[in-house]
Amino acid sequence: MTTENKRIGIFGGSFNPIHMGHVNVLTTVRSRMNLEKIYVLPAAQNPLKPATEGPSDEQRLEMLRRGLDEFPFLEVDDREIRRGGVSYTVDTIESFAKTNAPEDLYLIVGLDAFEEFDKWKNFERILTLANLIVVTRPNHSLPFGEGDLPEGLRPLVAAFDRQYVALTTGRSIEFVRLNDLDISATDVRKRLRSNRNVDRHLSIKVEEYIREQGIFAPLGPRIGDYEAFTRFCAQALWDKKAINVRGFDLRNTESATEFTLIASGTSTRHATSLADAVQRAVKEEFNVLPQSVEGAGEGRWVLLDYGALIVHVFYDFVRQEYRLEDLWKTGRDLGLREEIPAKAT
């Protein structure tokens, strides 16, 4: 049942952290689309993803509150975090639909998210209960014709007119061109971890909170000597029977990272368990989680980012395809050797 006849925006994301790109979306959309209010909803951390260094849910919420408190038309809403588990937008829209009519609900997404929209759970249901506002994002193009829309959406198109798509569900998709800000949370995290300037990226209040809480602080001081750390990770790999473990010091090369470690498992499962073993050993010894983990689900190539050390764990068969060591030839081979404990006599 509709309690108010007002146009409401819904903007979800990981907000890890909230940045000026998000603020630009919110302020522009609110004025262009004449929205009364926009709810900003941080998604719960996906419990199926590997744990990485970063803010807690409470810290992400607090960054949002501080970053948005000067805008009275914005409301930070913690329902996805309270719900826990994987946050599906359809569940969130269903909950807003209990109190808001579909014609008044506007889900706001960036073009990058829109390109994948037909992979979202129950996207047709979303487009029945809410309209969509799509904002531009650098390096992503607005659709010129119906054929540029994500494939799954095409059957829902009733009429297409560049800025406005009428849908057979009765809802619409509208495109809003922003004064694009080329900012992403991934880049902001990297900048903070390497002590680079973020004046253009974050509001002062958010930056202050991040520094005060030590979120996204460089890992260096906790890890200390990175060459010793590389050797430590190599040993954790050998302990789980990794093969062909090699390490390189890349400090005198063009590479963005200082050290790299590469190892293989004899199957994708073995590779995954090797990567898990490194994460466990490092957590235990240094109380540090990786800044990011990629490829853990498939186990063909798992990448652990520890800042100045990147660990690549391959399924050996896949490793042959990429030959990463060729890229590191100009670095110094650490000549890693497994330390076999001396046998007691």
In whole angstroms, give the CA distance from residue 131 to residue 138: 23
- Residue bearing tokens 């560049």: 162
Which residue's Cβ has the minimum distance to ligand ATP?
110
Residue 108 or 311: which CB sits closer to ligand ATP? 108
Interface with ligand ATP, residue 25, by CB under 6 A: yes
Quote the tokens at residue 177: 């061109």
Coil, strand or helix: which one is 230? helix
Q: Which stretch binds ligand ATP (CB under 6 A): 10-18, 27-35, 202-210, 321-329?
A: 10-18
Q: Which residue, among 114, 120, 110, has the nearest Cα to 87 in the 3D structure?
A: 120
Using CB under 6 A, which of 142, 181, 281, 324 touches ligand ATP?
Answer: 181
33 binds ligand ATP (CB under 6 A): no
Write down the least CB distance from residue 111 to ligand ATP, Å.
7
Figure out which of the listed residues 135, 149, 198, 210 binds ligand ATP, where binding follows CB under 6 A.
Answer: 135
By CB under 6 A, name the one of 93, 105, 109, 129 that touches ligand ATP: 109
Tell me the Cα Rg of the chain: 23
Q: What are phi and psi of 160, to 5 degrees?
A: -120, 130
Nearer to ligand ATP, 183 or 233 (CB): 183
Size, binding site for ligand ATP by CB under 6 A: 18
Q: What are phi and psi of 301, to 5 degrees?
A: -150, 105
Does an H or E element contain 187, and which? helix 185-193
Restricting to residues 35-94, name those near ligand ATP by CB under 6 A.
none
| Closest distance to ligand ATP from the beta carbon of 267 (Å) | 31
Which span sits near ligand ATP by CB under 6 A: 21-29, 79-87, 209-217, 233-241?
Answer: 21-29
Residue 102 is given by DSSP the state G
Task: Please state whether 218 falls in left (phi above 0), alpha (psi between -120 and 50) or beta.
Answer: beta
Cβ distance 87 to 12 under 8 Å?
Answer: yes
Taking the alpha carbons at both ends of the chain, their separation in whole angstroms is 81
Q: Applying CB under 6 A, which part among 92-100, 177-185, 229-237, 336-344 lies near ligand ATP?
A: 177-185
The residues of the shown chain that bind ligand ATP, judged by CB under 6 A, are 13-16, 21-22, 25, 109-110, 112-113, 135, 137, 181, 183-186
